[in-house]
């Protein structure tokens, strides 16, 4: 009889990620992971003390996946920042459970918007905005915040409701908000 396949930490995280993606974060348990991996719960609990530890590792993987999704620019919009906003909304539509896990799970408890803007993942986007508009980093953060909050509102509505999505309407709305934010930060 061949030896059983060795279960790795990465296999556990990948499996939990897929469970979150397909069924939601509340479905991640040592048992659900072990069932998917066709093993006992022992290897899962060997690498992770608690389900919360697993979810932290999955959160990191989901955040990296989300960032790559956002930055996959096909230049369907004239403005890269608008395309990032559109990708954010599309992510919420196509990856509802991951969106909810990332942005509606109280992960940002006690964090200010300013602290969110200081995360390493946002530096490329803020730098792109700063260069594109020839504005200061502080102005870029202000414009980005406005676009983010508006995009997040749309994304949350789509992630939590079966609404009809009209891409052209969303592009028009984001374009107006973005132009208004840029005019405001340049004026100030």
Q: What is the pLDDT of residues 143-168, one digit of tens each?
A: 888 998 999 999 999 999 888 889 99
Q: Which residue did the predictor score with more confidence, 54 or 129?
A: 54
Mean pLDDT, rounded, of the chain: 89
The pLDDT-based confidence of 96 (bands split at 50, 70, 90) is: very high
Helices of type H across 24-166? 30-37, 42-47, 51-70, 80-94, 96-103, 113-117, 123-133, 137-160
The pLDDT-based confidence of 4 (bands split at 50, 70, 90) is low
Residue 180's alpha-carbon distances to 29, 81, 183, in angstroms, are: 46, 14, 5
What is the pTM (predicted TM-score) of this model?
Answer: 0.86
Q: Label residue 26 by pLDDT band (50, 70, 90).
A: very high
pLDDT of 1: 52
* CB burial of residue 86 (10 Å; 0-12, 13-18, 19+): buried
3-state secondary structure of 134: coil
Written out in words, the top-level CATH class of the domain with range 1-61 is: mainly alpha
3-state secondary structure at position 29: coil
According to the model, what pLDDT value does residue 156 have? Answer: 94
Tell me: the pLDDT tens digits for 29-88? 999 999 999 999 999 999 999 999 999 999 999 999 998 998 888 766 677 888 889 999
CA distance linking residue 91 with residue 94, whole number of Å: 5
Sign of CA dihedral 96, 98, 102, 105: positive
Of residues 68 and 106, the one with the higher pLDDT is: 68
DSSP H/E element including 13? helix 9-23
């Amino acid at each position: 009889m061949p030896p059983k396949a060795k279960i790795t930490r990465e296999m556990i995280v990948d499996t939990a990620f897929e469970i979150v993606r397909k069924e939601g974060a509340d479905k991640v348990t040592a048992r659900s992971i072990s069932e998917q991996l066709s093993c006992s719960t022992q290897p899962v609990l060997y690498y992770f003390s608690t389900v919360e530890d697993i979810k932290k590792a999955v959160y990191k993987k989901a955040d990296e996946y989300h960032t790559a999704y956002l930055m996959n620019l096909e230049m369907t919009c004239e403005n890269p920042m608008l395309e990032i906003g559109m990708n954010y909304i599309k992510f919420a539509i196509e990856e509802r459970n991951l969106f909810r896990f990332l942005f509606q799970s109280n992960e940002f408890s006690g964090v200010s918007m300013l602290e969110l803007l200081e995360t390493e993942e946002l530096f490329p986007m803020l730098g792109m905005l700063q260069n594109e508009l020839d504005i200061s980093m502080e102005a870029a953060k202000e414009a980005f915040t406005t676009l983010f909050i508006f995009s997040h509102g749309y994304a949350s509505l789509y992630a939590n409701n079966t609404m009809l999505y009209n891409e052209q309407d969303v592009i028009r709305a984001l374009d107006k908000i973005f132009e208004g934010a840029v005019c405001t930060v340049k004026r100030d």
